[in-house]
Amino acid sequence: MQPDLSELTRFLQDCPPFDVLDSSQLDWLAPRCKAVYLNEHNVDTLFAQHSPALFIVRSGAFDLFTPEHQLIERLESHDLFGFPSLLTGRAVVNTLEVVEDGIVFLISDDDFAALRQQHRGFEQYFIRAHEQRLLSQQSMTTQFSGGSASSRKRDTSDGLQQLLGQVLTRTPVVLPSTATIQQAAQRMRDEKVSSILVVDDATLVGILTDRDLRNRVVAQGLDFNLHINAVMTQAPATLTARQSLLDALTLMAQENIHHVPVLDPESARPLGMLTNTDLMKQQRSEPVMLIGALNKARSTAALIREAQQVPDYLHTFALRVADAAAVGRVLASLTDTMTRKLIHFYEQEHGVAPAAYVWLAFGSQGREDQTLSSDQDNGLLLADGLNAEQHAWFAGLGEFVCEGLAACGIPKCPGNIMASNPECRLSLQGWLERFQRWTSAPTPKALMYCQIFFDSRNVMGSKRLYQRYRERVAELGRSEFFLGNLARLQARVQVPLGLFNRFRGTETGKDSDWIDIKRYGIALVNDIVRVYSLHAGITAPRTLERLALLQKSRLLSAKDNQALADVWQFLTQLRLQHQLQVWGTEAPKNALDPDALGPLARRQLKSAFGILKNAQQGVSLKFGKTG
């Protein structure tokens, strides 16, 4: 059967990876394609007669089985099969059963080989698909960014994902700690820099900035012949050359600093200094300007006015960068900045905090994966032994900051997980007793809370107090009994794939065919990775960072670790794309219609859910029998 060439060309253009071929290649391919009509009577004969070949489903439905008659996949329009034999040269062993009669296009092994030689992207698609790494292929990123693969790569390399080692343009300006203040000022003048690295025996011991000279030297009337170790910033926050501009932006926002030393990741030798000016010179570093504007607000009203720019800014930023992880971290940095400013305003009016405390970020803000629709999840960690007056001060702080964040556009938590709630405003002992109850007697409600409270960050406050809290919480989280209950909880979440690998809707009512990819996808990845991280004693809150730290663990193979990272990135990217599409409407922000996706995205979504099913089984086998 010879297909209509114009109709076939249009079909191939809508069928990845043929969409990467140019018009001349498609014109060459179309007349070489053969169309066959498959039904239950001729399928075995035709399948055997034309193999090995690449098969493309035009219509109908077919089940692909292993030699042991295990279902591999239900194949429908635009799905491909047959390429593993073409890639490996091995005999065809799988079988095909007809569910619904239909037409299948065939491409011979010679023509497939010719296309592989002509187009590397075409070849790589099938190699990656054969390795079951469909989620990480370049065409996925291209579809989400709305641009070409080359433009997407350019956005990444020139933007916030650029490594700091690529950004540093000059050798470090250094002095020993025994240099005098006058020598440091003269060196900064001669080098035309606003800061200097203080290094003893190739080890960074501090930094000296022009602000230090103004505030700690000139304003205090100190002798210029004093050693700089008397006025430098000791043990400054640092980054390594392997970290990104996004890491620098996050750190600067969290610490409200303008200079960050960059170290060699192996030797810790200082390589240079990164400043906020350096960040602003980068193409995709506009978040620095918005964070700077928030930091410069002199009142709550001014902060709210600046915060009103955030939604439109983030929408534009997300469209341009098309990187869900970057958007999440930038939004978390903005929320952190607003939080710290509100705490500062409260202290201006009510005096400084009467005791040590930590403002905690939980959930998505704690993981730094906030979205355009995230609400507040926060709390207060207080020193032990506070009196009634001190508790009243912190109660006022919780109320003021949560109300202020709501006015700035960060909605209140429907579950009241906020520092304005006394149950989320506890002493160190109080929090530890709560975690002790949760982990020793994990009720369904306790397990639900643990999914939020085990992902935390210190937004502002005592680093030492937070470290004590985090280490003790990590110890409690390693309980086998508790982990067994967490494992069984995540195993009860049904991945939205039904019979024959078909999507199963998770929403009720008019949107019954839609899938909530947050609850049944992204959150499930977070939950699975959290179980492994708790077992390993990892305190980092971000999911991808946890997976990176788990690479040395024997619990997860390198392949499974990478697969979970790929799934998380794909699903968060898919959600971001959906949220941008429904921006400003009443449409669900986390649920989407799989039928509205393109063929490639549908395949990737099925592959993602399949990986999650396997990961659930792995967690259940490793932890589910305890507790």
Residue 2 pLDDT level (bands cut at 50, 70, 90):
low
Average pLDDT over residues 550-572: 90
Q: Is residue 152 scored above 80 in pLDDT?
A: no
Superfamily of the domain at 164-276 = CBS-domain (3.10.580.10)
What is the mean pLDDT of the segment spanning 42-53? Answer: 87
pLDDT of res. 142: 35
Can you give the pLDDT at residue 138?
Answer: 36
High-pLDDT (> 70) share of the chain, %: 91
Task: Identify the band that residue 153 occupies on the pLDDT scale cut at 50, 70 and 90.
Answer: very low
pLDDT of 134 over the 50 cut: no
pLDDT number for residue 392 = 97
Give residue-wise pLDDT tens across range 52-79: 899 999 999 898 888 888 777 788 888 8
The closest alpha carbon to 263, from 168, 157, 195, 177, belongs to 168
Q: State the SS3 of 549-588.
A: HHHHCCCCCHHHHHHHHHHHHHHHHHHHHHHHHCCCCCCC
Any bridge partners for residue 175, and if so which? Answer: 198
Task: Encode pLDDT of 91-110 as tens digits.
Answer: 888 889 999 999 999 999 99
Tokens of 285: 């570093």
For residue 574, what pLDDT is reported?
92
- Which 3 state secondary structure label does DSSP give 320? helix
Q: Under the phi-then-psi rule, with left for phi > 0, alpha for psi from -120 to 50, and beta for the rest, what region is 146?
A: left
Mean pLDDT of 558-580: 91
pLDDT, position 282:
58
Give the integer Cα–Cα distance in Å for 261 and 236: 8
**Secondary structure of 350-414 in the HEC alphabet?**
HCCCCCCEEEEEEHHHHHCCCCCCCCCCEEEEECCCCCHHHHHHHHHHHHHHHHHHHHCCCCCCC
Cβ(565)–Cβ(41) below 8 Å: no
- Whether the predicted pLDDT of 16 surpasses 80: yes
Q: What secondary structure letter does DSSP report for 241?
A: T
3-class secondary structure, 9: helix
Q: What is the pLDDT of residue 627?
A: 55
Q: What is the mean pLDDT of residues 575-598?
A: 87
C-alpha closest to that of 314 among 583, 590, 591, 589 = 583
| Nearest-10 crossing angle of helices 287-296, 324-350 | 10
Domain at 287-469: CATH code: 3.30.460.10
Helices 324-350 and 245-255 pack at an angle, to 10 degrees, of 10
pLDDT value at residue 158: 43
How do residues 262-275 score in pLDDT, each as one tens digit?
Answer: 999 889 999 999 98
Residue 222 has pLDDT above 70, yes or no: yes
**pLDDT class of 603 with cuts at 50, 70, 90:** confident
Task: Read off the pLDDT of each residue in 191-218 and give the average, rounded to a whole number.
Answer: 92
For residue 340, the Cα-to-chain-centroid distance in whole angstroms is 23
Between 470 and 128, the more confident residue is 470
What average pLDDT score do residues 458-474 get?
95
Higher-confidence residue of 158 and 184: namely: 184
The pLDDT value given to residue 580: 86
pLDDT exceeds 70 at position 151:
no
Peptide bond into 17 cis (omega under 30): yes
Dig out the tokens for 55 from the structure: 């098969």
Going from the C-alpha of 518 to that of each of 1, 499, 510, 521, 572, the distances in angstroms are 45, 22, 19, 5, 8
- Mean pLDDT across the stretch 393-403? 98
Beta-strand ranges (E) seen in 439-546 are 456-461, 515-516
Please tell me the least confidently modeled range out of 18-27, 279-288, 311-320, 422-431.
279-288
Distance CA 138, CA 121 (A): 8
Closest CA to 315 of 589, 597, 584, 587: 584
* pLDDT value at residue 305: 92
**pLDDT tens-digit profile of 343-365?**
999 999 999 999 999 999 999 99
User: What value does the mean pLDDT take over residues 234-249?
Assistant: 88
166-203 pLDDT tens trace = 888 788 999 999 999 999 999 999 998 889 999 999 99
Among the ranges 252-261, 399-408, 589-598, which has the highest mean pLDDT value?
Answer: 399-408
pLDDT of residue 1: 59
Taking the C-alpha atoms of residue 270 and residue 32, their distance in angstroms, rounded to an integer, is: 61
pLDDT, one tens digit per residue, over 402-447 is 999 999 999 999 999 999 999 999 999 999 999 999 999 888 888 9
Question: Residue 225 pLDDT > 90, yes or no?
Answer: yes
Q: What value does the mean pLDDT take over residues 453-474?
A: 95
What confidence tens digit (pLDDT) does each residue in 575-584 have? 988 988 888 7
CATH number of 5-131: 2.60.120.10
Which has more confidence, 362 or 588?
Answer: 362
Mean of per-residue pLDDT scores for the chain? 86
In this predicted structure, the answer to whether residue 150 has a pLDDT above a threshold of 80 is no
pTM of the model: 0.73
CATH code, residues 480-623: 1.20.120
Nearest Cα neighbor of 457 from 534, 369, 529, 527 is 369
- Taking residues 149-176, what's their average pLDDT? 67
Q: How far apart are the C-alpha atoms of 186 and 556, rounded to whole Å?
A: 54
Backbone angles phi, psi at 234, to 5 degrees: -85, 150
Tens digits of per-residue pLDDT, 491-539? 899 999 877 678 888 776 455 578 999 999 999 999 999 999 999 999 9
In the chain, where the domains are located = 5-131, 164-276, 287-469, 480-623
